Amino acid sequence: MAAATLLLALAVVTLGSGHVEAFDPNPLQDFCVADPTSKDNENKLHENGVACKDPAAVVAEDFLFGGLDKPGVTTSKRFGFTANQVQIPGLNTLGEAHVRLDVAPAAETALVLEGSVYFGFVSSYPDNKLYAKVLRKGDVCAVPQGLVHFLHNNGTAPATLYASLSSQNPGLVLLGNSLFAGALPDDLVAKTLLTDQHTVQTIKANFRRS
C-alpha cells in the first residue's frame, strides 16, 4: 500500500511538472489581437483558442492597460491583479503577462516597488534546497520555471511588487488549496504528509471556511 501511495504521488508530480514546464509558442505573425466576442469564429484565424481581430480594426488601445499603478485590496483579493490577454488583447501570442502584487503585512516576483518581502523557492527532489532572501525596494529576483516559491511581507507596511511572467495566461497552483480544498481522499493526503486523517480533516475545514 505504501508503494502504491508513493507511485501515485510520483505520478501526480510528473503530470504536474509536465504542465508547468510548458511554454508559449512563438507567434506566427506580427500580432493576433484577441477577439473573444467575435461572432464569425469559423472564418477567422485562431491563435491560442481565440479569434484574431481583423488587423484593419486593431487600435493602439488593444496593446494598453491602465491600472497597475493602483494598489489592490488585499483583504478581498489575495494575489493583486494581472494584466494578461484578457485585459490587454494585444498580448495574445506574445507569451507574457504582467502582475502587480500587493502584499498585506500578514501574508514571480521581479521588482520590489515598496516595502520588503521574504522571498524564496525550493529546488526539486531530491535536494529540496531552500533559496531565500529578504528583498527590499529596488531589488529584482528571478523564479526558475516550475519550482515551488513563496513571498511573505516581513515588514509593518504593505509591500508592492511587479512581476513579469513567461506566459500570456499563467496558471496558479496553490499547494494548500491543491491538497486540502480539492477532492483528494483524506487517507491519501494523510499518508503523503505522514500524518493522520483527523489532522487532515481539521485542516480541510479551515480551507472550507476561508
CB 43 within 8 A of CB 58: no
Matching residue, cell 486593431: 58
C-alpha cell at 15: 503530470
- Reading the block at residue 209, the C-alpha cell is 471556511
Element (H, E) at 150: strand 148-153
Cis geometry, peptide bond prior to residue 144 (ω within 30 degrees of 0): no
Does 149 count as an annotated binding residue? yes
CA quadruple 82, 87, 92, 96: dihedral, nearest 10 = -20
What are the C-alpha distances in Å from 58 to residues 27, 39, 61, 96? 17, 17, 8, 19
Give residues with Cβ within 8 angstroms of 28, minimum separation 6: 47, 93
- Alpha-carbon distance of 112 to 118, in angstroms, equals 11
**Residue 163 phi, psi (nearest 5):** -120, 140
What is the separation, in whole angstroms, between the first and last Cα of the chain?
33
- Residues annotated in a binding site: 108, 149
- Residues annotated in a binding site for oxalate: 108
- Residues annotated in a binding site for Mn(2+): 108, 149
